[in-house]
Structure 1
């Protein structure tokens, strides 16, 4: 984004963008690097933290702050049985220990499922895993897949030669590994290239459950990518001001808009519109040329009859009125 103003700048200028706290990020881009937390059950944006572009992807303090903010955003009656899923950026000691402490509170269940580093100890455990231990991964319908397998390597890491190689982590932490056939163009480590598979380790504290189902549960985290895409289309993609404080206010307003659209889909729409993305909702409903008129002491919302989604608009409006 370009911010232009006459006279001397009223805030620090970074590079040519004129935006406070804009900086290069770890993906090679330039701008900002916010953290977001989403509710998988509803698609709501529970919390967002504005950060400078060079903020670390695995900064434990930021992850802990947004976890606590997200839990606080969940209604109290639903906070006591939670699953927190994070990608590989969340596999730091401080984050896992914080989640373990949350789970230890009486009457609480806070499980976690986070990506784990494919480091030397995990690579060694994979190399020691017999072929017959690998089981078929499950797809979204719970059926076995032929192109991916799952194995648990906790025993090899905890009790194999060399002692407990997870001794600095909480006792209940388990390590699962998914392997899948290599896709063209995938970025791979030398270890993966030599073995002929792409590996994705994850850590969880679930005391029971099959490795296949626990791994499938973690794969649901991929829905976050869809949430983020819709969030960018609702204002998170472009921060308009040269002031970081104003940009922070902007993303707060964007978060409100994201949740309003989310609950519009959940409560007011059905069919294809209940799954529509922001651009579709804007075109079909939000930009409809409706008119509010007064007649016989009543307010009437008039929608052009030829509008293809006029009935959907009217149904949504009537559902709003029916909410207690």
Structure 2
């Protein structure tokens, strides 16, 4: 491909008031309106203040931030992308970045809890109006994980040197919900200080996310999946109280090692992965492994009897190529294998339970998505402003997933970067006639059919999408 005209024959002028760069925001934000985002904010978020209008029209300010994040904004200044061309003709109440920054800095812990309530109910509304979680009435998976987000400002509240030497971070908790047929949604998020332990606040967090998943339509079997930092009696007790199952990696503590050593050699089942998967310890691709199970393993045996839990211990082992086999002597306890045990009461058969537990890695995809979009920065020096930013990112993420579910079966499973490229970043020219606005979109747009389906569905007169 090359330019069709000589360089000197081309000029550029930013002077057209009828163009917009993100016409996909029209159906996306219409979907947010139909699911009651503005009403929820008005009802739940009681933010008062006079500085730069901090407490006025909170629904318009939150909608502006969510819309900016839907376009890919990752800082407060990037929210100015909404104020170009004919955007004021399409949307009322667009706020300047300075106003939005002041609004976020006015948040307190209580206001963040109010915004959490908005997120929770907004997710339930999206799930009720769109096919976000097909099969949720039968089985749903709730995945919990933590992540460290590096920050650079010396005055950022809560930023501390934590797990990574010499790196100041904040330490959010993220929980997703998905089904065997759907990509994950963000059920709950929680901002924490950089030095917070991975499992700090996990039991209450787990209780909240299980309740949120139920409100979003996950009325069938719910299985909580988590890494070894969440392997404790209080997390499992929270699952039992909510009527949910659990599937939690245990790590290699001494009781687990003794239990694995007791498994007879003929109990191991050979499995072969259809596609190679990365080994959690080395990152090497592996295609073969073996799985065995201890049907009744009692965890937390050192605690009082009422707190002990008896369930299944399922172990996957792969060849440890870094350790050559010892010939002629016993050698180490585990000279040839690396073991990956998890504790579960999932009623599925052994290989299926192992396969479902391994799929917990989908939460890492959501975390990677966050750091490639709105969480590329935590933009404020105020801890609660960054908490609000985290919650608003979760709302924008779920909104884009809902839009994709309405567009096409392909976009229902596409990444959010693809959703932005195909459905949001569509240029358009606005024409006015007979008190109506018409969006003139590019000819031969490759995803025209999906975009048209989304637009027609959202603007249908029926209240049921």
Q: TM-score w.r.t. structure 2 length? A: 0.56
Q: Does 1:26 align with 2:178?
A: no
Change (3 A) 1:298 1:15: closer
Structure 2 unaligned spans of 5+:
1-73, 77-104, 106-150, 276-285, 323-330
Distance 1:65 1:292 in 2: 49
1:73 matched to which residue of 2?
A: 212
Q: Does 1:126 align with 2:253?
A: no
Distance 1:275 1:227 in 2: 13
Distance 1:26 1:283 in 2: 35
The structure, 1 or 2, with the larger RCO (C-alpha pairs under 8 Å, 6+ apart) is 2
**Number of residues of Structure 1 aligned to a counterpart in Structure 2:** 291
Structure 1 unaligned spans of 5+:
4-9, 104-109, 159-163, 185-190
Check conservation: 2:407, 2:450, Cα contact below 8 A.
no
Q: Root-mean-square deviation (CA), in Å?
A: 3.3
2:316 matched to which residue of 1?
A: 178
Q: How does 1:225-236 map to 2 (within 5 A)?
A: 225-236=364-375
Check conservation: 1:234, 1:258, Cα contact below 8 A.
no
Shift of 1:311: 4.1
Check conservation: 2:171, 2:195, Cα contact below 8 A.
yes
Q: How does 1:1-324 map to 2 (within 5 A)?
A: 17-28=154-165, 29-41=167-179, 42=182, 43-59=184-200, 62-76=201-215, 78-79=218-219, 81-103=221-243, 110-137=244-271, 139=273, 147-155=288-296, 170-182=308-320, 194-206=334-346, 208-271=347-410, 273-322=411-460, 324=465
Q: TM-score w.r.t. structure 1 length? A: 0.78
Distance 2:443 2:272 in 1: 48
Q: Which has the larger Rg?
A: 2
- 3-state SS of paired residue (1:317): helix
CA deviation string 1:79-125 (max 9, x = no partner): 4631111111210111112222333xxxxxx1111111211121122
Distance 2:294 2:381 in 1: 49
Deviates more, 1:90-99 or 1:245-254: 90-99
CA deviation string 1:166-222 (max 9, x = no partner): 9765443221111112377xxxxxx9994222211111123x443222212211211
Check conservation: 1:135, 1:149, Cα contact below 8 A.
yes
Deviates more, 1:273-282 or 1:39-48: 273-282
Shift of 1:33: 0.8
Check conservation: 1:58, 1:89, Cα contact below 8 A.
yes
CA deviation string 1:229-264 (max 9, x = no partner): 223333133210000011011111101111011112
Distance 1:282 1:100 in 2: 39
Distance 2:197 2:303 in 1: 24
Distance 1:132 1:176 in 2: 15
Change (3 A) 1:68 1:128: closer
- 3-state SS of paired residue (1:195): coil
* Aligned structure 1 segments of 4 or more residues deviating by more than 6 angstroms: 164-167
